[in-house]
Structure 1
């Protein structure tokens, strides 16, 4: 099995997990198990086949291994963070998030030279950083719960995974902080978000809207998971979509219009515009 096939299978399985309507802790647990599974597959392959040359080894540890390694670190951090997240007091929760963000910023500062090396596209240290030959010459950034193996690691492949994962994780925390601040304002004002808005069309109609918004890249310039859009609209319109991915598959299998609701929106809007001009 080629690396490309393995990585495509991993990407597909990870996307399927993200589509599931489960809590973030359960999603993280499933993603972590998936990452471990595919890292073991990759390890088995390189131990069996080896590499054609140093360039192939560098490409593997700098790019290919990062595909399951980065989400492993990302989801491990999320799971740990959410399990330790304080209950109840909003001020304590906000302080907890800010402390974690500050800790990540210290990590970026400590590893500034390596981060600049990667971001600048430099390659002159790649052999030392991303081949196993120099493993003993450079300190390995270790962890108690990340995937680490002396036969399957270089001096900086784990650090690269952390840099990419922490960049993504800090965005997760910033969004968490925004939501907490909004919740705090709502609590202080004695109000809730859109209490009078209720979705009165079908769940499949809302699912069409969710996927249309996601694939049109009209929210956060496309830098948002479809599950985040789904959760936000569910909260806004006081409706539960227990399995919107399954509903999406049913929509895809329609023999007639696959975008029935979106078509109706367009027709109704155009009709209203035409009547107002009469």
Structure 2
């Protein structure tokens, strides 16, 4: 069953990246991502019910890692969509208060589940048999207050909680970026009366924009080097109406590339050179 699971996960990640790179609104992207996650989970469920795991270790690996590939974005985009639909259209103060209230609620979740959070963050595995096999699913209370995707034949005692922990960590980053964007827009509005809206949409990849952000930062191209990475990231996300998510993680993945770690920047250089040559003909 290993190979089919790998193929499903690979295809899912490719389709998710396509959705995240579209020019549609955050709400539309979130809706499409949610549908993709649910369809993938249904496919995984059918596969799991059709074939038995060869061992408890395989079952643990599936519920602790493989299933999380689609569970985490399902929870994350469910939260993002709900947040954006309910986001107040009032003044900046009201909006910031709303975001801070959300962050405080998420912090309470992490405090309430601090033992499990530490278990995951410290890479422990001694309770994996109880947490991530279906044999013990009735021995632990369900801690998820929201229904995302639960089935007695496809859910363990803590696989959903693991998904929430990972997704909420990502959602907090999203909220902080929204908070920073509001502050940035407010500062721009006070310094001049120009509108902060833009018809520009980033249509390349998430990794490409991340490369650009770090290139601008590393070359001190913004504010003579006084602007930090997050400030540059927020500005470009706002300008291009594009959600980068956890761009620190994306940067870490870029650094592990085997061929070219500056793939997008290389493409820019090649494209500009070709454009110049064509214009001189």
TM-score range, shorter chain: 0.7 to 0.9
Match of 2:157 in 1: 155
Match of 2:271 in 1: 260
Q: Secondary structure at the match of 1:178?
A: helix
Q: Structure 1 residues 263, 191: CA separation in 2 closer, same or farther (over 3 Å shift)?
A: farther
Distance 2:107 2:204 in 1: 39
Structure 1: gaps (5+ residues): 236-256, 266-278
> Contact between 1:208 and 1:262, CA under 8 Å: does it hold in 2?
no
Q: Structure 1 residues 174, 146: CA separation in 2 closer, same or farther (over 3 Å shift)?
A: same
TM-score (norm 2): 0.74
> Contact between 2:189 and 2:195, CA under 8 Å: does it hold in 1?
no
Match of 2:17 in 1: 15
Q: CA RMSD in A?
A: 3.5
Q: Structure 1 residues 166, 262: CA separation in 2 closer, same or farther (over 3 Å shift)?
A: farther
**Could you say which structure has the larger radius of gyration?**
1
Distance 2:275 2:56 in 1: 58
Distance 1:165 1:194 in 2: 30
Deviation at 1:182, TM superposition (A): 1.7
Match of 1:177 in 2: 179
Q: Structure 1 residues 163, 217: CA separation in 2 closer, same or farther (over 3 Å shift)?
A: same
Match of 1:239 in 2: none
Structure 2: gaps (5+ residues): 219-228, 242-267, 277-281
Deviation at 1:261, TM superposition (A): 1.5
Q: How many residues are aligned here?
A: 236
Q: Structure 1 residues 99, 262: CA separation in 2 closer, same or farther (over 3 Å shift)?
A: farther
Q: Secondary structure at the match of 1:150?
A: coil
Q: Structure 1 residues 71, 262: CA separation in 2 closer, same or farther (over 3 Å shift)?
A: farther
Match runs of 1:186-265 below 5 Å = 186-192=188-194, 213-215=209-211, 218=214, 231-234=237-240, 259-261=270-272
Match of 1:62 in 2: 64
Distance 2:40 2:208 in 1: 31
1:93 maps onto 2:104 in alignment: no
Q: Structure 1 residues 111, 87: CA separation in 2 closer, same or farther (over 3 Å shift)?
A: same
Q: Structure 1 residues 43, 228: CA separation in 2 closer, same or farther (over 3 Å shift)?
A: farther
Match runs of 1:48-59 below 5 Å = 48-59=50-61
Task: Provide, for residues 22-47 of structure 1, a one-character-per-residue CA deviation record: whole Å limited to 9, x for no partner.
Answer: 10000000000000000000000000
Distance 2:41 2:205 in 1: 36
TM-score (norm 1): 0.74
Distance 1:229 1:215 in 2: 15
Distance 1:209 1:13 in 2: 12
Q: Structure 1 residues 66, 209: CA separation in 2 closer, same or farther (over 3 Å shift)?
A: closer
